[in-house]
Amino acid sequence: MIAAVRGTRDILPGESERWQYVEDIARRLFERYGYAEVRTPIIEREELFAKGTGETTDIVQKEMYAFTDKGGERVTLRPEATPSLVRAFVEHHLEQQMAVPKLYCLGPMFRYERPQKGRYRQFHQLDVEVFGVEDASIDAEMIDLAWSLVRELGVREAELLINSVGCPVCRPSFSAALVSALGEDVARLCADCRRRAGTNPLRIFDCKVPADQPIIDRLPHAVDHLCEACATHFSAVQQHLDAYGIPYRISHRLVRGLDYYTRTTFEILSGSLGAQNALLGGGRYDGLVKVLGGPDRTGIGFAAGIERLVLALPEDAPIEVARPHVFVAAIGDAARREAARLVKELRSAGLRAQLDYEGRSIRSQMKTADRAGAPLAAILGDDELAKNEVTMRNMASGDQTPIARRDVIDYIRLASADEGAPMAQPE
């Protein structure tokens, strides 16, 4: 047997319905807020993420699946969606085509890291971005959208954290304050944090090493080093959130792990996930569009791991399995031909119909119907063909009713509606 590659997994029937539930709610919600879908390639030029995500980030230095293709070009499997959406925004001049460029995407991402619960080397994200709006109201709307997503999914024990990491004007002084406050404690930090102290001190706040936490807890806070413009912006974000009635907590350790973030950062956690409790996160990245060759436009967004959202779904989430409305069983060659025609009619009418393909006994066919979860079986044999009827069997009670062939579709529709099953629309 050839097994799946380490860090990847199959999403099988019984679980895929939970994914569809998350994705359907997300799509409807994003579109309600005015966001349009973009589908970007899985493979991109390596420089897009080196420039966009940041040369010093763990993603670029350790986790990207980057290689030289047969044409000699350096390419990578996308490790995140934001640089790809920025590229699409710039390359296709979406600013000229949309009143406000509000975009979302869903799809697989790739990072080479140690697989663990809810984290894989091929994982899936939903991503939401807005370009060209500087006012703090868009920060609040983005946070509101993220919070609404978590609420509509029914995720329990959710908590919203916010912070501001400043801008290129005030961040250098905060970075210098961090290095100064660390002093000789730098040597006591883990190897990654010692490296970060020299490249991007803010990323020390991302450290999860237990021994480093007492040192990190004593470090200065970003909000105490904001310039006047950043402080005003962050205050406005909080005022909007208060107006929305969204509960939040300012977390001084929330800096996000990517180099492009400026000003507002936010994250939503869920206690139902255990130690790895982050559901989604995002923030502003006002210089990224320009860095990637576009006009000087602001940006803000968030990303959520779909695996994490699926894990956080409550057990009683109203997830529907698309079982068949009817299983068509046939006895004899002539009945099998008629069964195929009937199934075609049922499917064209928007009903989910299955049938036996191998001419097995009626008993075997009933077992298959039961295993498929069909509430009804439509039985065809010589007697039914002679009378131009179909025998409808209630799989739960075993009751059988002869129905005129012309009335079969209406009968199944009515029975399915009475049972509360969602009805498909005819094509």
Query: What would the pLDDT profile of 212-238 be if each residue is shown by its tens digit?
Result: 888 888 888 888 889 999 999 999 999
Q: What is the pLDDT along the chain (427 residues), one digit of tens a residue?
A: 999 888 889 999 989 999 999 999 999 999 999 999 999 999 999 989 887 666 656 666 678 888 898 999 999 999 999 999 999 999 999 999 999 999 999 999 998 877 666 578 899 999 999 999 999 999 999 999 999 999 999 998 899 999 999 988 988 888 888 888 888 888 888 888 888 888 788 888 878 888 888 888 888 888 888 999 999 999 999 999 999 999 999 998 887 656 678 899 999 998 877 666 889 999 999 989 998 999 999 999 999 999 999 999 998 889 888 899 999 999 999 999 999 999 999 999 999 999 999 989 999 999 999 999 999 999 999 999 999 999 999 999 999 999 999 999 999 999 887 665 544 444 4
| Contact criterion met (CB below 8 Å) for 308 and 299 | no
Whole-angstrom CA distances from 59 to 76, 122, 235, 259, 269 are 12, 14, 32, 11, 22
Place of tokens 């064209």: 348
Q: Report pLDDT digits (tens) over 296-323.
A: 999 999 999 999 999 999 988 898 888 9
Q: Which domains does the chain have, with CATH numbers?
A: 16-170+226-312 (3.30.930.10), 326-414 (3.40.50.800)
Confidence (pTM): 0.85
> What pLDDT, on the 0 to 100 scale, is given for residue 417?
77
> What pLDDT, on the 0 to 100 scale, is given for residue 197?
81
Q: Report pLDDT digits (tens) over 364-420.
A: 999 999 999 999 999 999 999 999 999 999 999 999 999 999 999 999 999 887 665
Strands ordered across the beta sheet of 43-45: 43-45, 74-77, 65-68
> What pLDDT, on the 0 to 100 scale, is given for residue 254?
87
> What pLDDT, on the 0 to 100 scale, is given for residue 58?
61
> What pLDDT, on the 0 to 100 scale, is given for residue 113?
76
